[in-house]
Structure 1
Amino acid sequence: METKNSSTKKSTTRKTTKTPTRSTSKTPAKKDAAKGLSDLFEDSLKDIYWAEKALSKALPKMEKNATDPKLKKAIADHLEETKEHVKRLEDCFKALKKKAQAKKCDAMQGLLDEGKSILEETKPGAVRDAGIIAASQKVEHYEIATYGTLAAYAKILKEKDCLKLLLSTLDEEKNCNNLLTKIADTNLNSKAIND
């Protein structure tokens, strides 16, 4: 009996120690995939460059459709900042000795489309203004995340000129977001209840 148990154990051991066969086929890398942090940094710069240029075209429409004077002013001021953000990104490309190129940013396109829908689905007044603020803050949060990440990359890559430019823009994006919150909180959202 002991011999049978020993052989049973051995065969059980053999079965459990088999290694699974591995697939040798590899998924080919995407043709334009980033090969390192430097490539990812440059690719992300192209993305936000497109986003800022698209935003500079969308902001005048938002301003035109807003009714609250503080909101209209905030949008107009941010349009001027956005133009500066585009220039800073161009300066960043120059610092990297690269041509400034834009690559379509699907995230920003989606956010801008959402903002456009708000304008189409609301009538002028406090509700539309509240919607404009909501859409604008989504854009700001996306930009804050992007510039924060780009600044972290620039720091690791020792791209000091880019880091300085990106941090300046990051501060302005945060300030804009805070201003929009203040405008919404100081009466505008309350007006939207009864609008």
Structure 2
Amino acid sequence: MKSSTLPDGMPVLSRGRHRWPRRGACFMEFASLLAGERWSDHPSCTHPLLGQLARQVNDCTSDAGRHQLVPLIPSVVGLRGDDRTSLTVAVAVAASALLDAPEGTQRALAAGLLRAEEVSADAGPRLATTRRQARSALDLVPGAVAWVQRLGCHDRLTLQTFGHRCAPTMIRCAVEGVVATGRPDCDQRLRALLEAGIAACPAPEPERASGPPGVVRARS
């Protein structure tokens, strides 16, 4: 780890962006510190969509519960993903939040999952598991699916277009949906969303996991 990036003491996990580690750190700023990167809440060590999810979960978790996210930080270091990551992460997170989301959010998530199902089918066998995951989630909310289908969206999306257009919205809606329920276990459910996203991001190849001495590696 680069000694120049280390403060006298490890920063406290807190909401929002921070100019210096001594003022605290959001989840992804802490990840940049562990990775030995320049201080940033958008470090290159983590796939951008997973980084978005981590920032939003961090900011929506209560001050009292945010410390429960700390053990997850090392697991995002090195998870840069691949061309499928925006799809696999978006589907996993949306599926996790779908059933208990408010009606409006549920419809938005169902719309994203329907598009994900189409893109997965077009991509062939390598996304068969993700396609099944999207379909299993959609089967739980037939009313939301029917509402989306009545809108009559017919344009086909590429994997890349889905990643740019749909995936970030699905992540935002999933987090907002959990918060909107107002349930007392909101912090735990937000953490579960982040865990689902981390699990859906492909682990790095051995050569990509290597780095300078002291850099924290993602997953053994």
- Would you call these one fold, judging by a TM-score over 0.5? no
**Structure of greater relative contact order (alpha carbons < 8 Å, 6+ residues apart):** 2
Higher helix share: 1
TM-score with structure 1 setting the length = 0.33
- Larger C-alpha radius of gyration, 1 or 2? 1
